[in-house]
Structure 1
Amino acid sequence: MSTQTIEKPDTDERTSTRDDTPKVFHYVKKNKIAESAVMGTHVVALCGEVFPVTKSAKPGSPVCPDCKKIYEGLRPGGD
């Protein structure tokens, strides 16, 4: 399974920063990212969050703990 970490836009002040940068990024199927960015369709993160792609995560960005746990369980040798 190929996934990539992308941003989920948050409007809840508890989950986003003051400059509208999300506090966490989510894992989604890689082949859905371009489609969402171009067509404006929504993607479904591993944790179940549904949102349109608006930004890509930079290396070192915080990842949704639920997405990370699910992703690690899918990988060969994952716990």
Structure 2
Amino acid sequence: MRTQTIERTDTDERVDDGTDDDAPKFFHYVKKDKIAESAVMGTHVVALCGEVFPVTKAAKPGSPVCPDCKKIYEKLKK
């Protein structure tokens, strides 16, 4: 029995350079109860600033926040 090596020429050798092309520029404030629904069902959410989008990523601590959402949120807290 012999083992034969077959060379694949169709491999994809992408390197993760830490940049994510579909990463949002800012994370927005949206209603909590809509986040899971959007992530699972693909429905769109409306941020405090008015931006409409489907939830595709979760914000991590220290992530950049939309300045407009932040201003509106601060006014609502008062």
Counting strand residues as a fraction of each chain, which structure ranks higher? 1
CA distance in 1, matches of 2:67, 2:47: 12
Q: TM (normalized to structure 1)?
A: 0.70
Who is 2:16 aligned against?
A: none
Q: TM (normalized to structure 2)?
A: 0.71
For 1:43, give the aligned amino acid: V
Who is 1:52 aligned against?
A: 54
For 2:74, give the aligned amino acid: E
Map residues 1-79 of structure 1 onto 2, 5 A cutoff.
Answer: 18-20=19-21, 21-76=23-78
Q: Which has the larger radius of gyration?
A: 2
For 2:20, give the aligned amino acid: D
Q: Which runs of 5+ in 1 are unaligned?
A: 1-17
For 2:53, give the aligned amino acid: F
Q: CA RMSD in A?
A: 1.5
Aligned length: 60
Q: Could you tell me how far 1:50 is from its partner in structure 2?
A: 0.3
Q: Which runs of 5+ in 2 are unaligned?
A: 1-18
Q: Percent identity between the aligned chains?
A: 86
For 1:55, give the aligned amino acid: K
Larger relative CO (CA 8 A, sep 6+): 1 or 2?
1
CA distance in 2, matches of 1:63, 1:46: 12
Q: Could you tell me how far 1:19 is from its partner in structure 2?
A: 2.1
Q: Could you tell me how far 1:56 is from its partner in structure 2?
A: 0.6
